Chain A
Amino acid sequence: MHQFTVEPLLPLNVAGYDISFTNSSLWLLITLALIFGFMATGMKRQLVPDRWQMAVEGVTGFIDDLVRVNIGPEGRKFMPFIFSLFMFILVANLLGLMPLAIIPGMHQFTTTSHFSITGVLAVMSFSIVLIVGFARHKLHFFSLFIPHGTPKIMVPLIAAIEFISFMVRPFSLGLRLFVAMIAGHILMEVFGSFVVNGFNSGPMGWGVGILSFLFIIGVSALELLVSAIQAYVFALLTTLYLNDAVNLH
């Protein structure tokens, strides 16, 4: 569990709040730097793109398609937000999987394995859905809880269920990402300790060690996939929720 510990690197206290610069903050800034570096390669704005520009335009085009398909033409103004979410989560997830710990003194930290990060992102998405919904439809936004064609007597029950499922959204958004990340990292840590302990404990252990090493290769590949999928799912669900807010049912 040591890999999830937040350690202050530079104590900082502003107006009674502890906003120390921690290893978590450091990796957030590294994430920002990587995203910025990647995007900067796509800023040549050539009519005929080179390969970096193609890559950047591929990502922006991917998110643009996602938003347009799920929200419609009005969705374009949410594209920067969805793009920021997707890129941040994707880069943070992948950064946590890079084998940087082989460099002595390097202690990697996966920012998206903390629900204080994923939860804030989820609350952010949820708040934007609420703000957009109430700004566009005023109190009519509550009709979201009553699907079309609900029989009159079923309205209270359906509305209650819909309301609960609506309120669960931020938790499901934030917890899904957090759990996926922490589970993958713990799994890899467990297999990693099997490898080390196995090879330290005689011939019987070597078999376990080799097996665990093979497993850890598979799990690493799976985790790379999960990193991308979780970023995609977070962005996709946010667009679907925004679609509810923009177009109602």
Chain B
Amino acid sequence: MPQIEQLPYIFFSQLFWLLLVFGIIYFAIGRGMVSKIQSVVDSRDRKIGEDLAAAQRAREEAESAEAAWRERIDASRSEAMRLAQEAKQQGGREAEQRLKAIDDELVARLAEAEARIRTSAEQARRELEPVAAEAVSELVAKLTGKRIESREAEPMVKAALHG
């Protein structure tokens, strides 16, 4: 086995070249390159972490903004509904009042007109009585030749008229 047979002759050569090569690997590659690569990996991990956190924050912000917007929309919708309701009620009340006022006025005018009709009918009737009495007395005079004073005929005319 050459590993054993040659050992006395090759040991220092093996040791020297191994230490040289392994030393270069350790110091140049292990301590130099690997630590740089690790720092790149670390910074990437950190960046990814930060980006994820930022995305999460942005998402939360968007959600809260949406919630606020929804709340505002809901509030203004209910406000609008309330205003519409109020306007409707107000309009209804006003219309009712106006109708009532017109109604009242109409009733008053009707009553007044009725009263006027009644008084003029009364007056007409009152004016009619002397004329009727006179006519009666004239009719009596023409038919019977007797004269009766219209004053005497008046009660009878009145009785006939008023039934």
Contact = CB atoms under 8 A, between A and B. Distances in A.
A64 interface: yes
Contact of A87 (B10, B19, B25, B41): B25
Instruction: Specify the main secondary structure of chain A where it touches its partner.
Output: helix
A83 B29 CA distance: 9
B10 to A, nearest CB: 5
Contacts of B1: 1, 4
B12 A17 contact: yes
A39 B34 contact: yes
A22 to B, nearest CB: 6
Nearest to A186: B1
Contacts of B24: 32
**How many B residues are at the interface, by size bracket?**
35 or more
**How many A residues are at the interface, by size bracket?**
35 or more
A42 B35 CA distance: 12
A93 interface: no
Contacts, number: 125
A116 B11 contact: yes
Interface string B12-31: 11111111111011101111
Contact of B10 (A22, A56, A64, A84): A22
B42 to A, nearest CB: 10
B159 interface: no
Contacts of A80: 26, 30-31, 34-35
A20 interface: yes
Interface of A: 1, 4-6, 8, 12, 17-22, 24-25, 28-29, 31-32, 35-36, 39-40, 42-43, 45-47, 56-57, 60-61, 64, 79-81, 83-84, 87-88, 111, 113-117, 120-121, 124, 178, 182
| Nearest 9 Cβ contacts at the A-B interface | A80-B30, A25-B17, A84-B30, A116-B14, A19-B16, A28-B21, A84-B26, A17-B12, A5-B2
Given A32-B25, A178-B3, 7 more contacts: A18-B12, A21-B17, A39-B34, A61-B41, A115-B3, A116-B18, A120-B19
